[in-house]
Every structure is written in C-alpha cells, then in structure tokens.
Amino acid sequence: MFSGGFYGWGMYLISLLTMGGLYAVLALGLNIQWGFTGLFNAGIAGFFAIGAYASAILTTPESPNHLGGFALPVPVGLVGSMVAAGVIAWPIGRICLRLRSDYLAIATIGIAEILRLVLKNELWLTSGSRGITDVPRPFESWPTPWWQLAYLILVALIVLALYLLIERGRRAPWGRAMRAIRENSESAAAAGKDVVSFQLEAFVLGSMIMGLGGALMTHYTKFIGATDAASGQLAAKHFQSMGLKTKVLSAPEATELAKLTETTYFGLMIAWAQEVERYCNRVNQDYAEVASFYDEIKFFPPVKYFPGVIGGHCVMPNIEILSKFDNSALLNAIKMSNQAKVALDASKKVKAEDRKEVPAGSVR
C-alpha cells in the first residue's frame, strides 16, 4: 500500500514538473520580449498554437481529416514549430511594434484570437474542432514510468539550454542594447541603435520559443485541438455559479452546428418578415399594422422580426457556411429574399435623392 502510494505521488510529481518545464519555456520566450525590450505581448497563446499545430502536422501520419502525412521525426517537428512561429511573428511584429504598452497588448490579444479562429475553422488544415490526434511522443515505446521520466529530462534539458543561451545573450552587447531600449527607447535611438530592428528581433525570437513550447506540449499530450469535455464542464459550472446560463454538448461538432443553425433561424425569420413586407407593399398596407395581429397568436414566436436587411457578422456568413455543406433550397430562399430587400432599399434611396434634386414647383 505504501509502495503504491509512493508510486502515485512520484508519477504526480513527474507530471507536475513536466508541465512546469513546458510553462517555463513559454516564460523564457516572454522574457525575451517583455523582460529584454519591454514588449507587452499578451498573445502568447497564438504563437503557442502555431507551434503546436505545425509540429503536429509535420510529424503525424497521413490522415483524411487534416493536412499532414509527412510523418517526420519529432526533432524536425520541433524545429518546424519554431520556424512557423517565427515566420508568422515577423509580419505581425512589423505591423504592431510601433504600438506601446496597453495598445500593443490589445493588438496582440486580437491577433491571437484571429489565429485561433483560423486554426479552428480551416478544416482542411487542422481538422477544426476535432483536432489532430495520434501525435507521436518521444520515448512512448518505453514502459511507464520511464517514458514520463525521460520526457521530463528532455524538457529540463531544453529549458536549461534556452536559459543559458538567453543569459549569454543578455550579457552580450546585444543584450545591453535591448535593456537600453527597454529603459528609454528614445535615448537608445539617439545613440544610434535601430530600435525597431532590435524590437523585431526580440519579438520573433520570443515567438519562436513560444512555438517550441506549444510543440513540446502537443507531443506530451499527443493531441491538439478543441477543449476536452472535462474542461468544458468545469467552465460551465464556473459560469453557472456567476448566474449565467450555459450548455455543454456532447461533441464539438454538435456545438458548432448548434451555433450555425441558431443564427440561421434568425435569418429565416427576418426573411419571412421581408416577404410579408413585400406583400404589404403590393397591396398598399402598413407592415406594422399587419404584424400587430401576430401578437394575438399564442404559439407565434415572441420576438417581432423587423424586415430589415440581414447583415451582422454572423447570420449571413453562417448561412454561407451551411450552404457549402448542402445546397439547401431554404437557405437559397433566405439569400434571395435578402438580395431583393437590398435592391428595394437601394431603389428607395435613389428615388428619395431624385425627389430632393427636383426644385419645388417644377414639372419633371
């Protein structure tokens, strides 16, 4: 019993130290950006995800669900994760590094969210919310607990190597220039230092290390993708404790389909209101008066849909997404109704402008 308890505590300690090492890799990447040059990058998760997906795609076997099939060795995947994160970080840095303090943080958060949405929605590339499975893990052929211990040693060696390299860079002229920029970028520029180039170097190098951290995490868990069910249930309980209504479905696909069809329902109701408005126009009746009759129908949806143009950032885009899966006559009818409404509003606007241009008392 004692030996079993000791073994359990030992496995827990190995797992805890491994996760600590993985987060240490991310911290070292952030230290180059924030600690050296004062760049407040709040989008760490974006570069973490880039590295994770890049290494998973390079090292996994062929799959019909996502890009891949290269089945390259894990070291190649780790190098590829750093290259991918660096390549993406360079144009982002060129755009954002002229911002300062909170503004840079806001921009990097937005970029991380853009990267998340791209990785989540490009099914051909990442398999979307289903994620990439069967990512190879170093030493996984070894028996337990030796592969866990070997992976911990690997992570510890990487952390140590990164720390020594970064410390050497800090003591070099490059590091002194970075600290000068952090303390006073104007004075450093007056001293002849190319501030933007140094900041871009720090941003790219830090992002590459963050990408390496993402790759190491993916190979450790053998998966990269949507949040697991246990984490989803935990988040739901947290939001429920705050008085918010939450719902966790059994699969990511069900969640995505529910979100797509929920907004499509609103589009259907608005298109129906557009059609009623067109009937009212044909017989010279007021839409609001006709719609007031619906308030007396108990089973009618309680929301009164205004016959405006279907726009927004989700309704019509989601209808287009669903249309790619199936050439639905119902969805095509919604799009046709919305196009007719846009044309009608444009015609009314032209007529109104024509009436303004005609002088009072003139005959046209």
Give the pLDDT confidence score for residue 67 in this predicted structure. 87
User: Residue 2 class from Cβ within 10 Å (0-12 exposed, 13-18 middle, 19+ buried)?
Assistant: exposed
Q: What is the DSSP letter of 140?
A: T
> What does each C-alpha distance from 274 to 168, 286, 317, 318 come to in angstroms?
68, 13, 19, 19
Q: Which CATH architecture has domain 252-357?
A: Orthogonal Bundle (1.10)
Give the pLDDT confidence score for residue 97 in this predicted structure. 85
Give the pLDDT confidence score for residue 220 in this predicted structure. 93
Contact yes or no for 127/66 (Cβ under 8 A): yes
**pTM value?**
0.65
pLDDT tens for each residue of 226-235: 555 565 666 6
pLDDT tens for each residue of 96-155: 887 876 788 888 988 988 888 888 888 888 887 778 888 999 998 999 889 999 999 999
Residue ranges, CATH 1.10.1040.10, the chain? 252-357
pLDDT tens for each residue of 177-223: 998 988 888 888 888 888 989 999 999 999 999 999 999 999 998 88
| Mean pLDDT across 298-324 | 71
Where is pLDDT greater, at 62 or 74? 74
Q: CA dihedral defined by 30, 36, 41, 43, rounded to 10 degrees?
A: -20
Give the pLDDT confidence score for residue 357 in this predicted structure. 64
Contact yes or no for 239/246 (Cβ under 8 A): yes
Would you place residue 326 in the very low, low, confident or very high pLDDT band (cuts 50, 70, 90)? confident
Contact yes or no for 170/45 (Cβ under 8 A): no
Contact yes or no for 186/10 (Cβ under 8 A): no
Q: Is the pLDDT of residue 32 over 90?
A: yes
Q: What is the DSSP letter of 222?
A: T
Where is pLDDT greater, at 269 or 88? 88
Q: Is the pLDDT of residue 95 over 70?
A: yes
